[in-house]
């Protein structure tokens, strides 16, 4: 059993477990969590190798799901609506698959990978760039640069700095270890490629509980000297939107929506994210009456 680092935000009502994105930490959820406790018991978790959680070897999605389940048990939350952003969204869906019939619902906030090989030319280049910087040692000015970058999305500096600090480990001499460390990060990207290669429709087959799939409604700010990436992102967004619309027409358990925010929506628009999650859970049968949500192995 591996217990992950978690933050129990308290609250009362249908339980929520919040999972963050790749290279991030549970601190990304602080602003939304503070709002969600009005209707929910809220637990945020650092994924393995992220934040203050221990690492795992190898870093695989099934192992991550199991550790999330053990951590939920340890906090007296044997079941919950599992909500994830980006990487955390994929983990939330895989948790729902692993505990079919026990988890009430899952929410995936823009947790979609690049799709089948060759479907989106340029995606391989993104993978190469991500792997080249995986687990890098960052210089002392890293946090300040992260705050400047976040300002492009309208993220307040205080929120951006707290989240950036929580996502890395300080090193002697003032540098920073980005997380997860390189071996685990490369394994993590391999898992994302494995799931993404299925395509969204095939990936979601066999997940029968209610799913809320949320796509970013705004593009990311233009990237200087990376027009190819902006073009790739636009093409992927159009293709994903069409695929999600088809899923929502054919799968009554799937709800699809967009949010007026770009990919880092949890930091960029925490109020809108919290409102969306609370409204979805409120619409689920039994939640308003405090349904007994239990996980079985």
Residue 18's closest CA among 281, 209, 261? 281
The pLDDT, as a whole number, for residue 74 is 96
pLDDT digit string (tens) for 31-62?
999 999 999 999 999 999 999 999 999 999 99
Give pLDDT, residue 1.
Answer: 75
Whether the bond between 180 and the residue before it is cis, its omega within 30 degrees of 0, is yes
The mean pLDDT of 110-139, rounded to a whole number, is 95
Task: Please name which of 59, 107, 119 lies closest in space to residue 82, comparing C-alpha atoms.
Answer: 107
Comparing C-alpha atoms, which of 272, 239, 246, 268 is closest to residue 258?
A: 272
Q: What is the pTM of this model?
A: 0.96
Please count the CA atoms within 13 angstroms of the CA of 130 that sit on its side-chain side.
23
Confidence grade of residue 288 (pLDDT, cut at 50, 70, 90): low
The pLDDT, as a whole number, for residue 136 is: 98
Residue 94 has which token pair?
């895989």
Q: pLDDT category, 2, cuts 50, 70, 90? A: confident
Strand ranges (E), the chain: 6-10, 16-19, 42-45, 81-85, 106-109, 137-138, 168-170, 176-178, 211-216, 254-259
Handedness of CA 277, 236, 47, 94 (dihedral sign): positive
Of residues 103 and 26, the one with the higher pLDDT is 26
pLDDT of residue 291: 42
**Mean pLDDT, range 202-228, rounded to an integer:** 94
Per-residue confidence (pLDDT) for residue 259, from 0 to 100 = 98
């Amino acid at each position: 059993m591996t217990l992950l680092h978690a933050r129990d935000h308290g609250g009362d009502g249908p339980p929520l477990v919040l999972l963050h994105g790749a290279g991030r930490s549970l601190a990304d959820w602080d602003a939304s969590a503070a709002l969600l406790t009005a209707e929910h018991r809220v637990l945020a978790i650092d994924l393995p190798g992220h934040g203050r959680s221990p690492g795992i070897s190898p870093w695989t999605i099934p192992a991550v799901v199991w550790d999330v389940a053990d951590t939920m048990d340890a906090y007296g939350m044997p079941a919950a609506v599992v909500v994830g952003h980006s990487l955390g969204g994929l983990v939330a869906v895989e948790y729902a698959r692993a505990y079919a019939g026990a988890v009430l619902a899952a929410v995936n906030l823009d947790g979609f990978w690049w799709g089948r090989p060759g479907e989106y030319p340029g995606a391989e280049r993104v993978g190469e760039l991500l792997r080249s910087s995986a687990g890098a040692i960052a210089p002392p000015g890293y946090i300040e640069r992260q705050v400047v970058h976040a300002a492009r999305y309208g993220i307040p500096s205080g929120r951006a700095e707290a989240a950036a600090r929580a996502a890395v480990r300080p090193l002697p001499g003032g540098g920073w270890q980005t997380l997860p460390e390189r071996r685990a990060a490369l394994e993590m990207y391999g898992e994302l490629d494995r799931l993404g290669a299925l395509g969204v429709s095939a990936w979601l087959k066999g997940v029968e509980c209610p799913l809320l799939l949320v796509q970013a409604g705004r593009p990311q700010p233009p990237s200087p000297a990376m027009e190819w990436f902006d073009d790739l992102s636009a093409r992927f967004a159009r293709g994903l939107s069409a695929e999600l619309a088809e899923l929502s027409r054919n799968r009554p358990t799937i709800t699809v929506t967009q949010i007026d925010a770009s990919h880092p929506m949890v930091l960029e628009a925490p109020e809108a994210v919290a409102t969306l999650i609370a409204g979805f859970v409120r619409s689920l049968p039994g939640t308003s009456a405090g349904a007994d949500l239990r996980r079985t192995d």
